Amino acid sequence: MQHFAIVTFGCQMNQHDSDRIGEVLRGAGLSEVSEPEAADFVLLNTCSVREKAEQKLRSEVGRLGVLKRERPGLVIGVAGCVAQQEGERLMKRLPQIDLMIGPDNIPELPALLADCVAGGPPRVRTEFDVEAPSFLAHSIAYGPSAGRAPSAFVTVMKGCNERCSFCIVPYTRGPERYRPAHEILDEIAQLTEAGVREVTLLGQTVNSYSDPAGLFAPPVLEGAGKWQGAGEWQGAGEWQHTEHERARADESEFPELLRAIARRAPGLARLRYTSPHPRHLTRSLIRAHAELGVLCRHVHMPVQSGSDRMLKRMIRRYTAAEYLERVTALKAAVPGLTLSTDIIVGFPGESRSDFEATLDLVERAGFVGVFAFKYSQRPFTPALKLGDDVSEAEKSARLAELFEVSNAQRHTHLNSLQGSEVEVLVEGRGKAGQWGGRSERNEIVHFASPYELLGRLVRVRVLRANKNSLFGELADAISDAEPLSTTVSSELGEPAAAKPLRRLPLSPV
């Protein structure tokens, strides 16, 4: 057993897990190949949030099964949400699979693999680590100094305590568990020392964070009967939640975590997070955005629907007006901040007027990016009992209509940037040889330069807007960079292909 390949489906959390799985396997002496055809062990890291992703897994296992007939020594593994959700049942249906491993069992992978190679029976390990949660950190060989990306994900929490009626995540990722703040801070400090300039904090409801070790717990003041939590202080003229009591209940220690990161890692240029739940976008989080320059002026926050009737059936615990109220306050506190979101169309019972309420919200919130999905029924979820009464044709028509509106908004936004300068974190080179990266507000930007710029922050003058990206020229005078060598990494796709980068919120966690 020498070579492994990982095929990843789904969200950033899965991508992050795949990166950590790669490190665990390399640590066990295996080396990675990009093509499954060249591997002795292929691991499919799966997503089950929507039915389509699961279908993709089945066809991939079928394809690998053909390879296995030619090379019976090939070991096929399945990791991630489908493994967690389906376990042995899936193994019975797809006997080509040799081992299945849930997201919390990744460190056990080398031992399971050794068992398989030694001729052991198929193995399934899908236990949640509820008692003693562990969080996989990056290996030291990270960042531009190791020839890797200047941008990294750091997990701050896993699991989900929400019970959104459409969502399988609580059943595939388990209850919320938070990573101790000191671990998060240490990992980010190590990453920035290795040259990482941008960190994206990851979690299914990332902004519900609280430190299990109590680092941010408010001091208990002698004789003070009043609540002393993070959101209590109020500056003059500051926006307040309409629903005070509810907002207070939704307060978390996430803003404190952000502040602590900014203090501990002054070398960090950009801090992002995904995905926040709207109910934890509280006043203190908005204040953190206004105060911390390191926080990027872009937030991806799933809204799911603009209809209160649907939001209630989805058990989202906010109204469209509350969502708007909060993002309006955020935009007022951080001028120029852009928003993107997730939306489900065709949720059970969604009428034309419910859908129109969603279109209305998309306009009013001014989203520059919308990730929209047709509702699909998922096992275990409470919405199963609501049926699935919106026809496939109607779902497709609504999806197309929604994209028309949201694409128009994105084009208007990208066009408005022509002639301006944006700061770009250079992530790699596309096939056409141009450099590419992201602006602070998450726009994909391409430009040409004969210098080695991987991992640098540069200013780019925007010359034109493509469908999903910007094209520009370097506005900085570069005097301290090497001329290009021929061996640069190629992380970005062709500019013309407008393929989203791996780090876009493709399908947020």
The residue among 480, 472, 473 whose CA lies nearest residue 456 is: 480
Could you say whether residue 318 binds ligand 5AD (CB under 6 A)? Answer: no
Question: Smaller CB distance to ligand 5AD: residue 15 or 449?
Answer: 15
Taking the C-alpha atoms of residue 55 and residue 178, their distance in angstroms, rounded to an integer, is 31
Residue 365 tokens, joined = 């919130």
The residue among 392, 445, 435, 393 whose CA lies nearest residue 414 is: 445
Q: Are 179 and 208 in contact (CB under 8 A)?
A: no
Could you say whether residue 166 binds ligand 5AD (CB under 6 A)? Answer: yes
Q: In the range 132-151, which residues lie near ligand 5AD by CB under 6 A?
A: none
Could you say whether residue 323 binds ligand 5AD (CB under 6 A)? Answer: no
Q: φ and ψ at 383, to 5 degrees? A: -70, -10
Residue 304 CB, shortest distance to ligand 5AD, in Å, is 6
Could you say whether residue 284 binds ligand 5AD (CB under 6 A)? Answer: no
The SS3 call for residue 79 is: strand
Strand pairing class (421-429; 457-465) = antiparallel
Taking the C-alpha atoms of residue 421 and residue 309, their distance in angstroms, rounded to an integer, is 43
Q: How far lies 74's CA from each of 41, 303, 477, in Å?
A: 6, 43, 52
For the chain, the farthest-separated pair of C-alpha atoms sits apart, in whole angstroms, at 75
Question: Smaller CB distance to ligand 5AD: residue 436 or 505?
Answer: 505
Could you say whether residue 344 binds ligand 5AD (CB under 6 A)? Answer: yes
Could you say whether residue 273 binds ligand 5AD (CB under 6 A)? Answer: no
Could you say whether residue 91 binds ligand 5AD (CB under 6 A)? Answer: no
> Which residue lies nearest ligand 5AD, judged by its C-beta?
342
Question: Smaller CB distance to ligand 5AD: residue 275 or 468?
Answer: 275
- Count, residues in the chain: 509
The SS3 call for residue 153 is: strand
- For the chain, the helix, strand and coil percentages under 3-state DSSP, each to the nearest 5: 35, 20, 45
Could you say whether residue 126 binds ligand 5AD (CB under 6 A)? Answer: no
Could you say whether residue 334 binds ligand 5AD (CB under 6 A)? Answer: no
Could you say whether residue 314 binds ligand 5AD (CB under 6 A)? Answer: no
Could you say whether residue 9 binds ligand 5AD (CB under 6 A)? Answer: no
Residue 339 CB, shortest distance to ligand 5AD, in Å, is 14
Taking the C-alpha atoms of residue 121 and residue 98, their distance in angstroms, rounded to an integer, is 8
Residue 239 CB, shortest distance to ligand 5AD, in Å, is 26
Could you say whether residue 50 binds ligand 5AD (CB under 6 A)? Answer: yes
Could you say whether residue 105 binds ligand 5AD (CB under 6 A)? Answer: no
Could you say whether residue 254 binds ligand 5AD (CB under 6 A)? Answer: no
Could you say whether residue 304 binds ligand 5AD (CB under 6 A)? Answer: yes
Residue 375 CB, shortest distance to ligand 5AD, in Å, is 5
Residue 342 CB, shortest distance to ligand 5AD, in Å, is 3
Taking the C-alpha atoms of residue 374 and residue 362, their distance in angstroms, rounded to an integer, is 16
The residue count for binding ligand 5AD (CB under 6 A) is: 14
The residue among 295, 288, 302 whose CA lies nearest residue 337 is: 295
**x/- contact string, 362-381, with ligand 5AD (CB under 6 A)?**
-----------x-xx-x---
Instruction: Give the footprint of ligand 5AD on this chain (CB under 6 A).
Output: 49-50, 166-167, 302, 304, 342, 344, 373, 375-376, 378, 507-508
